[in-house]
Structure 1
Amino acid sequence: MMGMVDRDEVEFALGPFAVTYEREVAIDFSMAVDSDTQKIVMVRPGLENDMGGFLKPFTSQVWLLLLLSVICSVAALVFLVWAEGKIFGTNPKYIGSKASMWVLQTLTQENTEWLPEGDGGRVVITTWLFASLIFMSSYSGILTAMLTIPKVTIPIDSLSDLVSQTKLPWRLEAGAMIQPYLQYSDDEIHRKGFYLMSGTTPDCWTSRQAIADGQYAVICDQTSIKKVISWDFSTTGKCHTYIGREAVYSNIMMSIAFRRNSSYLPKANKLISILRNTGIFAKWLHNEIGNTTQCLKPPTSDRQEGIEALGLDAFYGLIFLLVGGWIISLLAFLCEYLICYKLKTEPDTPLDE
């Protein structure tokens, strides 16, 4: 439509259109009808089960420190029990295996019967019991809270998030000002937004079903996005779309495009002024996109009331961990069997007690 106005094929085009310097050189614009913002609209993020969810209560640094604590506690316990055995002549056996099993059992809140005889080893045990109690209490509490109130991960909230992922393609509106803005920007992230796009679309309204189905995201004006959201909620009663929080381009003046020196421009400015000052335009816009309140809330508010039953896919991580433990135990058994078989077939080799 902008091209038709520029070629004097039509007197004006309603739009409204974003006012840019390049466009103002070629055509005339009316006074601002409204101001808008370019944002990303995509399929609404939902609750997803994570195979590694049982590891999420703590960061990787905490888990690494826990592993180091287990190793150091076992090493300290073995050394003290061995040293005390040398001093007092008790000669304890299988110190390494007993200490390792004791540390792991107490960490998982299991009962254990073995205790070192010396005071030095018992001091290490007391310290480890206190530390493991705090750790496991914190872990169980955080994990319970995460299962009770699950967190919705929002992978895309800005243009930087959009260009750094590969799962969801995106498109730009054909002929919109956002294309040259991104293409010729000095910012690398903006240029990626143009050169890595999967194509163009006529407008957000045309792509509304594809956006709701998660086929691709679109960068367009917020008013059009709200119109799509209003349509989606009015027709389905659910929210299938989401607006990224960070704007791609802010405070764009939207106006009606006129051919150069059009006699209709002063009359249009007067009419626009009346519609805005009397609140008629704001009321009409609210009626058009008013059914958006529920869907403009964060995705975390989509959680249903009450406790939701967990499906099998929520336990895939634990199942794989269990199966992995079975496989390791089987391999350990085979190694023990082969070693024992080899020692039995060599009578000259003494067996350790």
Structure 2
Amino acid sequence: MEGGVSNITCLRVAVINYLPHVAVLSAGPDLEIGGTFSPILDILSQQLGFCYKYMVPSDRLYGKVFENGTSTGTIGAVLNGDADMTGLLVVDEARMKHLDFTVPLFMERFLAVVKRPVLEPDVAGFVKPFTTFVWTATLVAILFTSLTCTLLLGVYEALPLAETLSTPNDSSDGQPFMNLSLTSLLWCVAVLLCQGIAWVHRAASLRMLAGIWFIASLIISTVYRSNLKAMLIMPRIQLPFDNLEELYQSQYPLYVVETTVIHRAIMNAPGDSPLGRLKEQMVASKSETLMARKFYGGERVALAGVSISFRHFMNIAFSRFGFCFEYIMQDRLLDGLTQAVAFRKGSHLLPKMNAIILRLLEGGLMNHLVYRTMHNSSHCLGPIIQDLSSTKLRAQGLKDFYGVFSVFAGGIIIAILCFGFELVVGHGHNNRRDIKH
């Protein structure tokens, strides 16, 4: 592509695919470039009186400079004389050592995006009303109450007034403590499950203990049913992650484009820092197309990139299908970054181009040229909790009850095994008794 005055040597602009700013529509001799950067470059060329043409480096990378002086990508093309300027690059200290940048054209930040979660059946939904800590505390309370009841019954068994304080069924031949323990445990569980069960102990301390457990069970069971009902009526979407700590704990493979600022920031970050810990799950790729195929193909991956690129894809998806495929993590990977065009050190075009860019920025034309085609992307931004304002509810599916069915089936299997064990033990006991007689 060329623009401006044709009788002046055209500037060679090194670019790679960077949507929505640069879109390599066709490669080879008939190179065709689209995107929002071309209108900006057209304005600059017309104001300064030069023409330009694009070139794409063979490695298709933004590039970097190695310690031995060699360089790659668009940065290497400028430093090696194959190009006169780059497309938009994120400005950082390492790049400023070798290149001169214009005034910033855009402010940017690096974000992480993941497949947008939706309401789905939850096999373990019946245990979600309480946290793990609450379930553990409830189990401890059951064991503590049953043990206390057993100890009290054992003490009353040894007292002279045992016949008046307890019933003859409180003990069994040869195994009084085991019988009392099982009876107390089953009573505690039955009360918690709101099942009717007889209470025949007449001791004041046992009645007080029973009354306390009745009240505790009423509170626990009522809160559980209320929370479960609320979760069924207004289900909440479970986010895979929403900050750096959750991203690390989720162990999602984090795909980044090689030689980008975020790639170098993660590699150079201390191992114990939030960014540094992402090295274990970071996957550096040279192909944005490959990353997009994995993401939109349904694989369990997360992508790291600049916010403007994600907004571009969100706009396309919502414009075509009416819903969003992506969810952007609310926390930032990197923030406060600037994007500018880079030249070789000492370029005489830099001061003139800065003057034009400043006028474009003051007039608001930069943002207008970029965001004028992405009006639908706003539907996919912001916390996903916005989606819960919808009155549409998800019908319960069979998978929602798999967890409860599994508990029920497990109980039936255990009961059958216990019944079989009782038959075997009882048959052996009868045989020994017949031999004695």
Deviation at 1:46, TM superposition (A): 2.6
Structure 1 counterpart of 2:417: 331
SS across alignment from 1:293: helix
Q: Pick from 119, 127, 130: which aligns with 1:58? A: 130
**In the alignment, which residue of structure 2 is the partner of 1:302?**
387
Q: Is the 8 A contact 1:172 1:219 kept in 2?
A: yes
Structure 1 residue 152: Cα displacement: 2.0
SS of residue in 2 equivalent to 1:238: coil
Alignment of 1:32-71 (within 5 A): 32-71=104-143
Q: CA distance change for structure 1 residues 186 and 128 in 2, over 3 Å: closer, same or farther?
A: closer
Report deviation, 1:82: 5.0
Change (3 A) 1:209 1:234: farther
**Counterpart in the other structure of 2:296:** 212
Distance 1:187 1:340, change over 3 A: closer
User: What residue identity is the alignment partner of 1:225?
Assistant: F
Query: Deviations along 1:21-65, whole A, 9 cap, x unmatched?
Result: 222222221111111111112212233433322222222222222
Q: 1:125 to 1:164 in 2, by over 3 A?
A: closer
Residue from 176, 192, 195 that aligns with 1:107: 192
Q: How does 1:50-199 map to 2 (within 5 A)?
A: 50-81=122-153, 83-84=155-156, 86=159, 87-90=161-164, 91-94=167-170, 96=180, 97-166=182-251, 168-188=252-272, 189-194=274-279, 196-199=281-284
What are the Cα deviations for residues 73-129 of structure 1, in whole angstroms up to 9, with x where unaligned? Answer: 223334444544641525521452543333222111122234323333222221111
- The structure showing larger relative contact order (alpha-carbon pairs under 8 Å, at least 6 residues apart) is 1
Give the unaligned 5+ runs of structure 1: none
Normalised TM-score (structure 1)? 0.88
| C-alpha contact 1:183 1:195 (8 A) present in aligned 2 | no
Residues 184 and 114 (structure 1), Cα distance of their counterparts in 2 relative to 1, 3 Å cut: closer
Q: Which amino acid aligns with 2:395?
A: A
The reply to whether residue 5 of structure 1 matches residue 5 of structure 2 is no
Q: Could you tell me which residue of structure 1 aligns to residue 372 of structure 2?
A: 287
d(CA) in 2 for partners of 1:255 and 1:269? 10
What is residue 69 of structure 2 aligned with on the other side? none
Alpha-carbon RMSD across the aligned residues, in angstroms, is 2.6
- From the superposition, tell whether residues 285 and 115 of structure 1 become closer, same or farther in structure 2 (CA, over 3 Å): farther
Equivalent position SS for 1:46: coil
Structure 2: give runs of 5+ residues left out of the alignment.
Answer: 1-73, 172-179
Residue aligning to 2:41: none
Q: Is the 8 A contact 2:330 2:382 kept in 1?
A: no
Q: SS of the residue aligned with 1:346?
A: helix
- Identical columns (%): 25
| Counterpart-to-counterpart distance in 1, 2:93 and 2:148 | 73
Distance change (3 Å), C-alpha of 1:11 and 1:92: same
Structure 2 residue aligned with 1:276:
361
Matched residues in 2 for 1:73 and 1:181: separation?
55
Equivalent residues, number:
347
Q: For residues 78 and 378 of structure 2, what CA distance do their matches in structure 1 show?
A: 37
1:38–1:248 contact (8 Å) kept in structure 2: yes
Offset at residue 173 of structure 1 (A): 1.4
Say if 2:311 and 2:374, in contact at 8 Å, map to a contact too: yes
**For the Cα contact (< 8 Å) 2:116–2:324, is it kept in 1?**
yes
The verdict on how the C-alpha distance between 1:64 and 1:177 changes in structure 2, with shifts beyond 3 A counting, is closer
Matching residue's letter, 2:191: T
Does the 8 A contact of 1:39 with 1:219 survive in 2? Answer: yes
In 2: Cα distance, 1:180 partner to 1:71 partner: 54
Contact 1:41–1:244 under 8 Å retained in 2: yes
Q: Shift of the alpha carbon at 1:163?
A: 4.1
Task: Give the whole-Å Cα distance in 2 for the aligned partners of 1:347 and 1:194.
Answer: 70
Q: In structure 1, the residue corresponding to 2:432 is in which secondary structure?
A: coil
Distance 2:80 2:341 in 1: 16
TM-score w.r.t. the length of structure 2 is 0.72
State which drifts further: 90-99 or 263-272: 90-99
343 and 244 in structure 1: CA distance in 2 versus 1, 3 angstrom threshold: same
DSSP-derived class of the 1:257 partner: strand
Q: Which has more radius of gyration? A: 2
The answer as to whether partners of 1:11 and 1:262 remain within 8 angstroms in 2 is: no
CA contact (8 A) 1:211 1:241 kept: no
SS in 1 for 2:433: coil
